[in-house]
Structure 1
Amino acid sequence: MRRARNGAEVLQLLTEQTPDLVLMDIQMPVMDGLTACKQRRANEQQQGLAKVPIIALTASALAEDREAVFAAGMDGFATKPIDISQLFAEIARVLQLPLSPRAATPAAASVPSQLLDSDHGSALWGSEAAHRRELQRFAAGPLQHLCEDLLTAESEQNFSRLLQQSHAYKGICGNLALPALSSACANLEQVLQQQQPQLIQPRLLQLC
Protein backbone atom coordinates (compact mmCIF):
# COMPACT_ATOMS: atom_id res chain seq x y z
CA MET A 1 0.00 0.00 0.00
CA ARG A 2 1.29 3.47 -0.92
CA ARG A 3 0.14 6.83 0.43
CA ALA A 4 0.12 10.23 -1.26
CA ARG A 5 -0.42 13.66 0.29
CA ASN A 6 -1.93 15.32 -2.77
CA GLY A 7 -3.12 14.68 -6.29
CA ALA A 8 0.26 15.45 -7.85
CA GLU A 9 1.88 12.75 -5.72
CA VAL A 10 -0.85 10.32 -6.75
CA LEU A 11 -0.01 10.88 -10.42
CA GLN A 12 3.69 10.43 -9.71
CA LEU A 13 3.11 7.16 -7.86
CA LEU A 14 0.98 5.91 -10.75
CA THR A 15 3.94 6.38 -13.09
CA GLU A 16 5.97 4.07 -10.85
CA GLN A 17 3.46 1.26 -10.44
CA THR A 18 -0.07 0.21 -11.40
CA PRO A 19 -2.03 -0.60 -8.23
CA ASP A 20 -5.13 -2.75 -8.07
CA LEU A 21 -7.11 0.18 -6.68
CA VAL A 22 -6.79 3.86 -5.75
CA LEU A 23 -8.76 5.46 -2.90
CA MET A 24 -8.77 9.11 -3.96
CA ASP A 25 -9.59 11.87 -1.49
CA ILE A 26 -11.45 14.65 -3.29
CA GLN A 27 -10.12 17.53 -1.20
CA MET A 28 -6.32 17.61 -1.24
CA PRO A 29 -3.74 20.41 -1.42
CA VAL A 30 -1.68 21.18 -4.56
CA MET A 31 -4.02 19.14 -6.79
CA ASP A 32 -7.49 17.92 -5.83
CA GLY A 33 -8.77 14.41 -6.44
CA LEU A 34 -11.04 15.29 -9.36
CA THR A 35 -8.22 16.97 -11.27
CA ALA A 36 -5.85 14.09 -10.52
CA CYS A 37 -8.37 11.55 -11.79
CA LYS A 38 -9.05 13.50 -14.98
CA GLN A 39 -5.31 13.74 -15.64
CA ARG A 40 -4.80 10.02 -15.02
CA ARG A 41 -7.62 9.10 -17.38
CA ALA A 42 -6.10 11.39 -20.03
CA ASN A 43 -2.69 9.75 -19.52
CA GLU A 44 -4.24 6.30 -19.86
CA GLN A 45 -5.88 7.23 -23.14
CA GLN A 46 -2.93 9.08 -24.62
CA GLN A 47 -0.21 6.67 -23.51
CA GLY A 48 -2.10 3.39 -23.70
CA LEU A 49 -1.78 2.78 -19.96
CA ALA A 50 -3.86 0.29 -17.99
CA LYS A 51 -7.04 1.72 -16.47
CA VAL A 52 -6.68 1.96 -12.70
CA PRO A 53 -9.91 1.61 -10.69
CA ILE A 54 -10.44 4.75 -8.60
CA ILE A 55 -12.88 5.21 -5.72
CA ALA A 56 -13.59 8.72 -4.47
CA LEU A 57 -13.52 9.53 -0.76
CA THR A 58 -15.47 12.62 0.22
CA ALA A 59 -17.35 14.05 3.17
CA SER A 60 -20.03 15.40 0.86
CA ALA A 61 -23.30 13.54 0.38
CA LEU A 62 -24.68 15.98 -2.20
CA ALA A 63 -25.91 14.57 -5.51
CA GLU A 64 -24.00 17.13 -7.59
CA ASP A 65 -20.72 16.16 -5.92
CA ARG A 66 -21.40 12.51 -6.66
CA GLU A 67 -22.11 13.34 -10.29
CA ALA A 68 -18.84 15.31 -10.50
CA VAL A 69 -16.95 12.27 -9.24
CA PHE A 70 -18.24 10.01 -11.99
CA ALA A 71 -17.90 12.75 -14.61
CA ALA A 72 -14.21 12.96 -13.71
CA GLY A 73 -13.83 9.27 -14.55
CA MET A 74 -13.91 7.66 -11.14
CA ASP A 75 -15.40 4.21 -10.71
CA GLY A 76 -16.84 4.38 -7.21
CA PHE A 77 -17.83 6.65 -4.36
CA ALA A 78 -17.51 6.38 -0.57
CA THR A 79 -18.47 8.99 1.98
CA LYS A 80 -16.49 10.05 5.03
CA PRO A 81 -16.27 9.33 7.86
CA ILE A 82 -15.59 5.88 6.50
CA ASP A 83 -17.88 2.99 7.34
CA ILE A 84 -15.57 0.03 6.75
CA SER A 85 -18.29 -2.43 5.76
CA GLN A 86 -19.70 -0.01 3.19
CA LEU A 87 -16.24 0.79 1.84
CA PHE A 88 -15.47 -2.91 1.45
CA ALA A 89 -18.79 -3.40 -0.36
CA GLU A 90 -17.96 -0.57 -2.76
CA ILE A 91 -14.48 -1.99 -3.39
CA ALA A 92 -16.03 -5.38 -4.13
CA ARG A 93 -18.49 -3.77 -6.56
CA VAL A 94 -15.81 -1.78 -8.40
CA LEU A 95 -13.40 -4.70 -8.64
CA GLN A 96 -16.25 -7.10 -9.48
CA LEU A 97 -15.34 -9.41 -6.65
CA PRO A 98 -17.81 -12.19 -5.79
CA LEU A 99 -20.44 -11.37 -3.22
CA SER A 100 -20.51 -13.26 0.03
CA PRO A 101 -23.17 -15.99 0.32
CA ARG A 102 -25.16 -13.75 2.63
CA ALA A 103 -25.06 -10.85 0.18
CA ALA A 104 -26.10 -13.12 -2.68
CA THR A 105 -29.24 -14.24 -0.85
CA PRO A 106 -32.44 -12.77 -2.37
CA ALA A 107 -33.43 -9.51 -0.73
CA ALA A 108 -35.84 -9.65 2.13
CA ALA A 109 -38.80 -7.33 1.95
CA SER A 110 -38.48 -6.29 5.58
CA VAL A 111 -37.00 -2.93 6.49
CA PRO A 112 -35.74 -1.92 9.96
CA SER A 113 -38.27 0.22 11.76
CA GLN A 114 -35.62 2.49 13.27
CA LEU A 115 -35.34 5.63 11.17
CA LEU A 116 -32.38 7.17 13.01
CA ASP A 117 -29.60 5.47 14.98
CA SER A 118 -28.26 8.45 16.92
CA ASP A 119 -25.57 6.51 18.79
CA HIS A 120 -24.14 5.05 15.58
CA GLY A 121 -24.34 8.43 13.86
CA SER A 122 -22.46 10.14 16.67
CA ALA A 123 -19.80 7.43 16.53
CA LEU A 124 -19.43 7.81 12.76
CA TRP A 125 -19.19 11.60 12.79
CA GLY A 126 -17.34 12.04 16.06
CA SER A 127 -20.07 13.86 17.95
CA GLU A 128 -23.82 14.29 18.11
CA ALA A 129 -23.51 17.88 16.90
CA ALA A 130 -21.49 16.91 13.82
CA HIS A 131 -23.96 14.16 12.98
CA ARG A 132 -26.88 16.56 13.37
CA ARG A 133 -25.23 19.06 10.99
CA GLU A 134 -24.83 16.39 8.31
CA LEU A 135 -28.43 15.28 8.76
CA GLN A 136 -29.57 18.87 8.25
CA ARG A 137 -27.52 19.12 5.05
CA PHE A 138 -29.03 15.87 3.82
CA ALA A 139 -32.57 16.98 4.65
CA ALA A 140 -32.04 20.29 2.85
CA GLY A 141 -30.65 18.67 -0.29
CA PRO A 142 -30.51 14.99 -1.32
CA LEU A 143 -33.49 13.86 0.78
CA GLN A 144 -35.79 16.21 -1.12
CA HIS A 145 -34.84 14.55 -4.40
CA LEU A 146 -34.56 10.91 -3.30
CA CYS A 147 -38.04 9.73 -4.27
CA GLU A 148 -38.24 12.02 -7.29
CA ASP A 149 -34.99 10.64 -8.70
CA LEU A 150 -35.94 7.01 -8.11
CA LEU A 151 -39.51 7.31 -9.39
CA THR A 152 -38.41 9.21 -12.50
CA ALA A 153 -35.84 6.55 -13.37
CA GLU A 154 -38.42 3.81 -12.78
CA SER A 155 -41.08 5.51 -14.93
CA GLU A 156 -38.54 5.87 -17.74
CA GLN A 157 -37.51 2.22 -17.23
CA ASN A 158 -33.94 3.43 -16.92
CA PHE A 159 -32.89 0.53 -14.72
CA SER A 160 -29.16 1.21 -14.90
CA ARG A 161 -29.80 4.73 -13.59
CA LEU A 162 -32.15 3.35 -10.95
CA LEU A 163 -29.49 0.87 -9.83
CA GLN A 164 -26.88 3.62 -9.61
CA GLN A 165 -29.20 5.86 -7.60
CA SER A 166 -30.35 3.14 -5.20
CA HIS A 167 -26.72 2.21 -4.55
CA ALA A 168 -25.75 5.85 -4.00
CA TYR A 169 -28.62 6.58 -1.63
CA LYS A 170 -27.98 3.35 0.27
CA GLY A 171 -24.46 4.53 1.02
CA ILE A 172 -25.50 8.07 1.91
CA CYS A 173 -28.25 6.91 4.28
CA GLY A 174 -26.00 4.31 5.86
CA ASN A 175 -23.29 6.89 6.43
CA LEU A 176 -25.85 9.15 8.10
CA ALA A 177 -27.07 6.32 10.38
CA LEU A 178 -30.53 6.13 8.79
CA PRO A 179 -31.00 2.34 8.87
CA ALA A 180 -34.56 2.17 7.57
CA LEU A 181 -33.81 4.25 4.47
CA SER A 182 -30.47 2.55 3.86
CA SER A 183 -32.03 -0.91 4.10
CA ALA A 184 -34.90 0.04 1.79
CA CYS A 185 -32.40 1.30 -0.79
CA ALA A 186 -30.39 -1.91 -0.38
CA ASN A 187 -33.51 -4.00 -1.01
CA LEU A 188 -34.21 -2.03 -4.18
CA GLU A 189 -30.60 -2.32 -5.32
CA GLN A 190 -30.60 -6.07 -4.82
CA VAL A 191 -33.72 -6.80 -6.88
CA LEU A 192 -32.25 -4.65 -9.65
CA GLN A 193 -28.97 -6.57 -9.52
CA GLN A 194 -30.90 -9.84 -9.63
CA GLN A 195 -33.02 -8.56 -12.54
CA GLN A 196 -36.37 -9.04 -10.82
CA PRO A 197 -38.46 -6.22 -12.37
CA GLN A 198 -41.69 -7.47 -10.78
CA LEU A 199 -40.26 -6.55 -7.36
CA ILE A 200 -39.11 -3.03 -8.22
CA GLN A 201 -42.37 -1.23 -7.44
CA PRO A 202 -42.91 -3.03 -4.09
CA ARG A 203 -39.38 -2.03 -3.07
CA LEU A 204 -40.00 1.56 -4.18
CA LEU A 205 -43.10 1.64 -1.98
CA GLN A 206 -40.85 0.97 1.00
CA LEU A 207 -39.09 4.25 0.22
CA CYS A 208 -41.64 6.60 -1.31
Structure 2
Amino acid sequence: MIAGDQKHRTRILLVEDNIINQKVAMRLLDKKLGYNADVANNGKEALGKLETSDYDLILMDCQMPEMDGYETTRIIRDEASAVRNHKVPIIAMTANTMSGDRETCLETGMNDYVAKPIDFQDLADAIDRNLCADKCPQPQSDHSSIIAESQYVEQGVADTIPSEYGDDPDLVELIDEFVLGFGDDLRTMKETLENGDLSALRRLAHQIKGAGGSYGYPMISEAGKMLEDAAKEQNSGNCTLAMNRLTALYQAAVRGRERDK
Protein backbone atom coordinates (compact mmCIF):
# COMPACT_ATOMS: atom_id res chain seq x y z
CA MET A 1 0.00 0.00 0.00
CA ILE A 2 1.37 3.43 -1.00
CA ALA A 3 1.65 5.91 1.89
CA GLY A 4 -0.31 9.16 1.67
CA ASP A 5 2.74 11.44 1.55
CA GLN A 6 4.26 9.31 -1.21
CA LYS A 7 1.03 9.57 -3.23
CA HIS A 8 1.27 13.37 -3.23
CA ARG A 9 4.78 13.14 -4.68
CA THR A 10 3.75 10.60 -7.34
CA ARG A 11 3.10 11.84 -10.88
CA ILE A 12 0.73 9.80 -13.05
CA LEU A 13 0.03 10.40 -16.73
CA LEU A 14 -3.46 9.40 -17.91
CA VAL A 15 -3.55 8.80 -21.67
CA GLU A 16 -7.22 8.71 -22.71
CA ASP A 17 -9.11 10.31 -25.60
CA ASN A 18 -12.68 10.05 -24.25
CA ILE A 19 -13.63 13.12 -22.18
CA ILE A 20 -16.08 11.28 -19.94
CA ASN A 21 -13.59 8.48 -19.28
CA GLN A 22 -11.01 11.15 -18.45
CA LYS A 23 -13.31 12.72 -15.87
CA VAL A 24 -14.19 9.40 -14.26
CA ALA A 25 -10.56 8.26 -14.11
CA MET A 26 -9.32 11.60 -12.78
CA ARG A 27 -12.05 11.53 -10.13
CA LEU A 28 -10.90 8.08 -9.01
CA LEU A 29 -7.24 9.07 -9.00
CA ASP A 30 -7.70 12.38 -7.19
CA LYS A 31 -10.67 12.05 -4.85
CA LYS A 32 -10.52 8.35 -3.99
CA LEU A 33 -6.85 7.43 -4.35
CA GLY A 34 -5.10 10.74 -3.63
CA TYR A 35 -2.79 10.87 -6.66
CA ASN A 36 -1.82 13.83 -8.83
CA ALA A 37 -2.31 13.17 -12.53
CA ASP A 38 -1.95 14.89 -15.89
CA VAL A 39 -3.99 14.05 -18.99
CA ALA A 40 -2.89 13.40 -22.56
CA ASN A 41 -5.64 13.05 -25.18
CA ASN A 42 -3.74 10.62 -27.42
CA GLY A 43 -0.42 8.87 -27.86
CA LYS A 44 1.31 11.73 -29.68
CA GLU A 45 0.37 14.16 -26.92
CA ALA A 46 1.60 11.66 -24.33
CA LEU A 47 4.99 11.35 -26.02
CA GLY A 48 5.33 15.13 -26.00
CA LYS A 49 4.79 15.19 -22.23
CA LEU A 50 7.14 12.27 -21.66
CA GLU A 51 9.90 14.03 -23.60
CA THR A 52 9.82 17.02 -21.24
CA SER A 53 8.62 15.64 -17.89
CA ASP A 54 9.20 12.66 -15.63
CA TYR A 55 6.26 10.47 -14.59
CA ASP A 56 6.14 7.60 -12.11
CA LEU A 57 3.39 5.67 -13.90
CA ILE A 58 1.25 5.80 -17.05
CA LEU A 59 -2.39 4.72 -17.44
CA MET A 60 -2.66 3.97 -21.15
CA ASP A 61 -5.87 3.61 -23.15
CA CYS A 62 -5.29 1.12 -25.95
CA GLN A 63 -7.67 2.44 -28.61
CA MET A 64 -7.14 6.12 -29.50
CA PRO A 65 -7.03 8.30 -32.63
CA GLU A 66 -3.76 9.84 -33.84
CA MET A 67 -1.69 7.13 -32.13
CA ASP A 68 -3.02 4.14 -30.16
CA GLY A 69 -1.68 2.84 -26.87
CA TYR A 70 0.22 -0.05 -28.42
CA GLU A 71 2.29 2.10 -30.76
CA THR A 72 2.83 4.70 -28.04
CA THR A 73 4.15 2.02 -25.69
CA ARG A 74 6.54 0.66 -28.33
CA ILE A 75 8.00 4.15 -28.79
CA ILE A 76 8.32 4.68 -25.03
CA ARG A 77 10.23 1.41 -24.71
CA ASP A 78 12.49 2.25 -27.65
CA GLU A 79 15.81 3.42 -26.19
CA ALA A 80 16.34 5.56 -29.28
CA SER A 81 13.19 7.63 -28.68
CA ALA A 82 13.28 11.04 -27.00
CA VAL A 83 11.21 10.15 -23.92
CA ARG A 84 13.02 10.70 -20.63
CA ASN A 85 12.19 7.37 -18.95
CA HIS A 86 11.94 4.26 -21.11
CA LYS A 87 11.20 2.02 -18.15
CA VAL A 88 8.23 3.91 -16.68
CA PRO A 89 5.49 1.44 -15.61
CA ILE A 90 2.54 1.37 -18.03
CA ILE A 91 -0.89 0.03 -17.10
CA ALA A 92 -3.15 -0.71 -20.06
CA MET A 93 -6.80 0.33 -19.92
CA THR A 94 -8.97 -1.39 -22.50
CA ALA A 95 -12.60 -2.27 -23.10
CA ASN A 96 -11.44 -5.42 -24.89
CA THR A 97 -11.92 -8.39 -22.59
CA MET A 98 -11.34 -11.19 -25.05
CA SER A 99 -8.89 -13.92 -24.19
CA GLY A 100 -5.37 -12.93 -25.22
CA ASP A 101 -5.82 -9.16 -24.79
CA ARG A 102 -3.73 -9.13 -21.63
CA GLU A 103 -0.96 -11.04 -23.37
CA THR A 104 -1.02 -8.56 -26.28
CA CYS A 105 -0.62 -5.66 -23.87
CA LEU A 106 2.28 -7.31 -22.06
CA GLU A 107 4.01 -8.33 -25.28
CA THR A 108 3.83 -4.71 -26.47
CA GLY A 109 5.77 -3.62 -23.39
CA MET A 110 3.02 -2.70 -20.94
CA ASN A 111 3.43 -3.86 -17.34
CA ASP A 112 -0.17 -4.46 -16.29
CA TYR A 113 -3.79 -4.40 -17.42
CA VAL A 114 -7.18 -3.20 -16.16
CA ALA A 115 -10.45 -3.66 -18.04
CA LYS A 116 -12.99 -0.93 -18.78
CA PRO A 117 -15.28 0.18 -17.29
CA ILE A 118 -12.64 0.77 -14.65
CA ASP A 119 -13.26 -0.96 -11.35
CA PHE A 120 -11.93 1.14 -8.44
CA GLN A 121 -10.31 -1.73 -6.56
CA ASP A 122 -8.77 -3.22 -9.71
CA LEU A 123 -7.21 0.15 -10.53
CA ALA A 124 -5.98 0.71 -6.97
CA ASP A 125 -4.40 -2.76 -6.87
CA ALA A 126 -2.72 -2.30 -10.26
CA ILE A 127 -1.24 1.05 -9.25
CA ASP A 128 0.01 -0.42 -5.96
CA ARG A 129 1.58 -3.38 -7.75
CA ASN A 130 3.51 -1.20 -10.15
CA LEU A 131 4.53 1.65 -7.84
CA CYS A 132 5.45 -0.50 -4.85
CA ALA A 133 7.78 -2.83 -6.76
CA ASP A 134 9.63 -4.79 -4.06
CA LYS A 135 8.71 -2.39 -1.25
CA CYS A 136 5.10 -3.45 -0.81
CA PRO A 137 3.39 -6.86 -0.74
CA GLN A 138 1.47 -7.50 -3.92
CA PRO A 139 -2.19 -8.33 -3.37
CA GLN A 140 -3.26 -11.68 -4.69
CA SER A 141 -6.80 -12.42 -5.79
CA ASP A 142 -8.26 -15.85 -5.23
CA HIS A 143 -11.05 -16.07 -7.78
CA SER A 144 -11.59 -19.76 -7.11
CA SER A 145 -12.80 -19.36 -3.52
CA ILE A 146 -16.32 -20.51 -2.78
CA ILE A 147 -18.58 -17.71 -1.53
CA ALA A 148 -20.38 -18.38 1.69
CA GLU A 149 -24.08 -17.58 1.74
CA SER A 150 -23.52 -15.29 4.73
CA GLN A 151 -21.71 -12.87 2.42
CA TYR A 152 -24.94 -12.18 0.61
CA VAL A 153 -27.10 -11.76 3.69
CA GLU A 154 -25.55 -8.47 4.82
CA GLN A 155 -26.90 -5.40 6.49
CA GLY A 156 -30.11 -4.13 4.91
CA VAL A 157 -29.75 -1.78 1.96
CA ALA A 158 -30.38 1.88 2.80
CA ASP A 159 -33.56 3.45 1.49
CA THR A 160 -31.49 5.64 -0.82
CA ILE A 161 -27.88 5.42 -1.94
CA PRO A 162 -26.17 8.37 -3.65
CA SER A 163 -23.38 8.20 -6.16
CA GLU A 164 -20.03 9.23 -4.69
CA TYR A 165 -19.66 11.44 -7.77
CA GLY A 166 -23.14 12.98 -7.58
CA ASP A 167 -21.75 16.38 -6.68
CA ASP A 168 -19.84 16.66 -9.95
CA PRO A 169 -22.08 18.50 -12.47
CA ASP A 170 -20.04 17.12 -15.37
CA LEU A 171 -20.92 13.54 -14.37
CA VAL A 172 -24.58 13.90 -13.32
CA GLU A 173 -26.02 13.05 -16.74
CA LEU A 174 -23.70 10.07 -17.08
CA ILE A 175 -24.71 8.77 -13.64
CA ASP A 176 -28.39 9.11 -14.53
CA GLU A 177 -27.83 7.12 -17.72
CA PHE A 178 -26.05 4.39 -15.75
CA VAL A 179 -28.88 4.08 -13.22
CA LEU A 180 -31.49 4.01 -15.99
CA GLY A 181 -29.56 1.36 -17.90
CA PHE A 182 -28.98 -0.64 -14.71
CA GLY A 183 -32.69 -1.49 -14.64
CA ASP A 184 -32.48 -2.95 -18.14
CA ASP A 185 -29.34 -4.86 -17.15
CA LEU A 186 -31.16 -6.39 -14.18
CA ARG A 187 -34.01 -7.61 -16.35
CA THR A 188 -31.52 -9.20 -18.75
CA MET A 189 -29.65 -10.87 -15.89
CA LYS A 190 -32.85 -12.23 -14.36
CA GLU A 191 -33.86 -13.77 -17.70
CA THR A 192 -30.38 -15.22 -18.09
CA LEU A 193 -30.54 -16.76 -14.61
CA GLU A 194 -34.00 -18.18 -15.26
CA ASN A 195 -32.65 -19.76 -18.47
CA GLY A 196 -29.81 -21.33 -16.50
CA ASP A 197 -27.06 -19.69 -18.57
CA LEU A 198 -24.63 -18.98 -15.74
CA SER A 199 -21.70 -18.36 -18.08
CA ALA A 200 -23.55 -15.47 -19.71
CA LEU A 201 -24.68 -14.29 -16.28
CA ARG A 202 -21.08 -14.22 -15.11
CA ARG A 203 -20.11 -11.94 -18.02
CA LEU A 204 -23.00 -9.59 -17.31
CA ALA A 205 -22.14 -9.49 -13.60
CA HIS A 206 -18.53 -8.65 -14.42
CA GLN A 207 -19.72 -5.60 -16.39
CA ILE A 208 -21.89 -4.44 -13.48
CA LYS A 209 -19.00 -4.92 -11.07
CA GLY A 210 -16.83 -2.55 -13.08
CA ALA A 211 -19.55 -0.03 -13.89
CA GLY A 212 -20.69 0.28 -10.28
CA GLY A 213 -17.26 1.45 -9.20
CA SER A 214 -16.82 3.72 -12.21
CA TYR A 215 -20.05 5.61 -11.50
CA GLY A 216 -19.59 5.96 -7.75
CA TYR A 217 -21.62 3.01 -6.43
CA PRO A 218 -19.15 0.70 -4.61
CA MET A 219 -22.00 -1.32 -3.04
CA ILE A 220 -23.29 -2.16 -6.52
CA SER A 221 -19.76 -3.11 -7.55
CA GLU A 222 -19.44 -5.42 -4.52
CA ALA A 223 -22.79 -7.08 -5.23
CA GLY A 224 -21.78 -7.49 -8.88
CA LYS A 225 -18.67 -9.33 -7.76
CA MET A 226 -20.76 -11.59 -5.53
CA LEU A 227 -22.93 -12.47 -8.50
CA GLU A 228 -19.93 -12.98 -10.77
CA ASP A 229 -18.28 -15.35 -8.30
CA ALA A 230 -21.53 -17.24 -7.63
CA ALA A 231 -22.07 -17.71 -11.38
CA LYS A 232 -18.49 -18.92 -11.77
CA GLU A 233 -19.12 -21.51 -9.03
CA GLN A 234 -22.35 -22.53 -10.82
CA ASN A 235 -24.24 -21.83 -7.58
CA SER A 236 -27.77 -20.87 -8.64
CA GLY A 237 -28.90 -20.27 -5.05
CA ASN A 238 -26.21 -17.71 -4.37
CA CYS A 239 -26.89 -16.16 -7.78
CA THR A 240 -30.49 -15.59 -6.74
CA LEU A 241 -29.39 -14.03 -3.44
CA ALA A 242 -26.96 -11.73 -5.22
CA MET A 243 -29.63 -10.74 -7.75
CA ASN A 244 -31.98 -9.86 -4.91
CA ARG A 245 -29.33 -7.61 -3.41
CA LEU A 246 -28.60 -5.94 -6.75
CA THR A 247 -32.31 -5.30 -7.22
CA ALA A 248 -32.55 -3.64 -3.80
CA LEU A 249 -29.48 -1.53 -4.57
CA TYR A 250 -30.93 -0.50 -7.92
CA GLN A 251 -34.15 0.68 -6.26
CA ALA A 252 -32.13 2.60 -3.65
CA ALA A 253 -30.00 4.18 -6.39
CA VAL A 254 -33.12 5.31 -8.28
CA ARG A 255 -34.49 6.93 -5.13
CA GLY A 256 -31.11 8.54 -4.54
CA ARG A 257 -31.10 10.13 -7.99
CA GLU A 258 -34.69 11.35 -7.56
CA ARG A 259 -33.79 12.89 -4.20
CA ASP A 260 -30.80 14.73 -5.63
CA LYS A 261 -32.79 16.38 -8.43
- When normalised by structure 2's length, the TM-score is 0.45
Q: What is residue 161 of structure 2 aligned with on the other side?
A: 116
Q: 1:190 to 1:180 in 2, by over 3 A?
A: same
User: What displacement does 1:151 show?
Assistant: 1.5
Q: What is residue 61 of structure 2 aligned with on the other side?
A: 25
User: What displacement does 1:113 show?
Assistant: 2.3
User: What displacement does 1:169 show?
Assistant: 0.3
Q: 1:199 to 1:98 in 2, by over 3 A?
A: same
Q: What is residue 43 of structure 1 aligned with on the other side?
A: none
User: What displacement does 1:26 show?
Assistant: 5.0
CA RMSD of aligned residues (A): 4.3
Aligned AA (2:116): A
Q: 1:111 to 1:78 in 2, by over 3 A?
A: farther
Matched, 1:133 2:169: no
Q: 1:71 to 1:183 in 2, by over 3 A?
A: closer
Aligned AA (1:201): T
User: What displacement does 1:134 show?
Assistant: 1.9
Q: 1:63-113: per-residue Cα shift (whole Å, max 9, x none)?
A: xxx5xx347974562335x73x2325689xxxxx94269x94735012662
Alignment partners' CA distance in 2, 1:146 and 1:111: 24
Q: 1:153 to 1:55 in 2, by over 3 A?
A: farther
User: What displacement does 1:25 show?
Assistant: 1.0
Matched, 1:188 2:227: yes
User: What displacement does 1:162 show?
Assistant: 0.8
Q: Identical aligned pairs, as a percentage? A: 20
Q: What is residue 78 of structure 1 aligned with on the other side?
A: 116
Secondary structure of residue in 2 paired with 1:130: coil
Alignment partners' CA distance in 1, 2:237 and 2:125: 25
User: What displacement does 1:135 show?
Assistant: 0.7
Alignment partners' CA distance in 2, 1:165 and 1:153: 9
Alignment partners' CA distance in 2, 1:137 and 1:30: 29
Unaligned runs of 5+ in 2: 1-13, 16-39, 45-57, 72-90, 103-113, 128-138, 248-261
Matches within 5 A, 1:1-208: 6=42, 24-26=60-62, 28-32=64-68, 55-56=93-94, 69-70=96-97, 74=101, 77-79=115-117, 83=120, 85-87=121-123, 98-99=140-141, 104=145, 106-107=147-148, 108-109=151-152, 110=154, 113-114=157-158, 115-118=160-163, 120-121=164-165, 128-140=168-180, 142-208=181-247
Q: 1:104 to 1:145 in 2, by over 3 A?
A: same
User: What displacement does 1:163 show?
Assistant: 0.8
The structure with the largest alpha-carbon Rg is 2
Alignment partners' CA distance in 1, 2:218 and 2:196: 27
Q: 1:174 to 1:71 in 2, by over 3 A?
A: same
Alignment partners' CA distance in 2, 1:180 and 1:201: 17
Unaligned runs of 5+ in 1: 9-21, 38-52, 57-65, 92-96
Alignment partners' CA distance in 2, 1:113 and 1:27: 38
Aligned AA (2:176): Q
Contact 2:198 2:234 in 1 (8 A): no
Aligned AA (2:182): L
Alignment length (residue pairs): 156
User: What displacement does 1:165 show?
Assistant: 0.9
Contact 1:167 1:189 in 2 (8 A): yes
